[in-house]
């Protein structure tokens, strides 16, 4: 798991705007029902949030709230509807067997359903994806899936690993198929992702002539984007600024507070 169960996004809570939130069950084209969480500011761009290997849990629900405070409608999805159902899960949920059963086809179907949900009232709405670890590389796969996305952001996804989810080639090999801008935010001190993989990803996008950027924070570990990682607060703040700008949002539409939701 990328985050501890008590981890939280290192993003200031903003007040002064109206944000609603709710649990959802969405249905993909293949009939799969899966859990999701939506935070809505009443308009703006849409964002599909792709979690790490734990699937949908509190970190990503809070991330949706923070994104909505900046004027988006954000929907975080769960990967495991096909194998584990849609019910809320306990902290001791055994997620790895579920992760090993996920397929790239299934993830794509579910992301498509979330995009359709976000565009249900406005077919022309700009929709982005943002993911973390397992979700980071999934985000980049979605950039190559011709889903009409406005952009794809990945935090510490692996650019050069195959078969995870099932049927997925190395991201580097599909960079030529990216149909939207891509942003990668990587830890330079991540033992699971060699710096050579990040450099290869950057080179693959440059060779393909796609709009892509790979940002490597030299001393940051995997999962540095966490309120508990105070030593990497500057890296997290820079990464969040890049996310906001990539999404085309105002950097401070509300007023910061220390309270959390």
pLDDT over 90, % of the chain: 86
Q: Range of 158's domain? A: 22-248
Q: How confident is the model at residue 18 (pLDDT cuts 50, 70, 90)?
A: confident
Output the CA–CA distances (angstroms, integers) from residue 230 to 123, 198, 225, 234, in the order listed: 41, 24, 10, 9
Rounded Cα distance, 55 and 72, in Å:
21
The answer to the question of residue 8 being in a domain is no
Number of domain units in the chain = 1
Q: Does 73 score more than 70 pLDDT?
A: yes
258 assigned to some structural domain: no
DSSP-derived secondary structure letter, 71 = T
**Residues 6 or more apart from 196 whose CB is under 8 A from it?**
none
**Is there a domain that residue 259 lies in?**
no
Mean pLDDT of the chain: 93
CA-based max dimension of the chain: 45
Q: Is residue 151 part of a domain?
A: yes
Task: Establish if 244 belongs to a structural domain.
Answer: yes
What average pLDDT does the segment 177-198 reach? 97
Examine the pLDDT at 81 and tell me if it is beyond 80. Answer: yes
pLDDT band at 255 (very low <50, low <70, confident <90, very high): very low
Backbone angles phi, psi at 192, to 5 degrees: -90, -10
Does 28 score more than 80 pLDDT? yes
Across the range 167-191, mean pLDDT stands at: 98
114 near 138, Cβ under 8 Å? no
Is residue 3 assigned to a domain? no
pTM: 0.94
Which is higher by pLDDT, 129 or 228? 129
Is the pLDDT confidence value at 261 over 90?
A: no
* Mean pLDDT, rounded, for 79-99: 94
In a domain, 219, yes or no: yes
What are 29-71's pLDDT values in tens digits? 999 999 999 999 988 999 999 999 999 999 999 999 999 999 9
145 near 175, Cβ under 8 Å?
no
Q: Is 92 helix (H, G, I), strand (E, B) or coil?
A: coil
Identify whether 12 is part of a domain.
no
Rounded to an integer, the average pLDDT of 210-238 is 95
What number is the average pLDDT over the span 127-151? 98
Tell me what percent of the residues of the chain surpass a pLDDT of 70: 94
Q: What is the CATH number of the domain that holds 89?
A: 3.40.50.1820
């Amino acid at each position: 798991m990328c985050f501890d169960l008590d981890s939280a996004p290192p993003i200031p809570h903003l007040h002064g705007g109206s944000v609603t939130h709710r649990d959802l069950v969405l249905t993909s084209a293949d009939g799969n029902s899966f859990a999701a969480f939506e935070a809505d500011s009443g308009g703006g761009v849409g964002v599909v949030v792709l979690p790490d290997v734990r699937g949908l849990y509190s970190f990503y629900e809070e991330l949706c709230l923070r994104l909505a405070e900046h004027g988006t409608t954000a929907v975080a999805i769960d990967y495991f509807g096909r194998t584990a159902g849609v019910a809320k899960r306990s902290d001791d949920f055994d997620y790895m067997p579920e992760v090993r059963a996920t397929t790239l086809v299934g993830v794509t179907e579910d992301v498509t359903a979330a995009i359709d949900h976000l565009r249900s009232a406005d077919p022309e709405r700009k929709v982005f994806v943002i993911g973390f670890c397992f979700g980071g590389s999934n985000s980049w796969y979605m950039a190559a899936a011709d889903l009409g996305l406005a952009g794809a952001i990945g935090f510490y996804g692996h650019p050069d690993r195959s078969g995870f989810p099932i049927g997925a080639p190395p991201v580097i090999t599909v960079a030529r198929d990216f149909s939207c801008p891509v942003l990668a935010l990587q830890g330079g001190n991540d033992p699971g992702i060699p710096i050579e993989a990040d450099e290869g990803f950057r080179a693959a996008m440059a060779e393909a002539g796609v709009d892509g950027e790979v940002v490597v924070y030299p001393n940051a570990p995997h999962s540095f984007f966490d309120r508990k990682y105070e030593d990497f607060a500057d890296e997290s703040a820079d990464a969040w600024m890049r996310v906001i700008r990539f999404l085309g949002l105002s950097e401070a539409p509300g007023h910061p507070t220390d309270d959390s939701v």
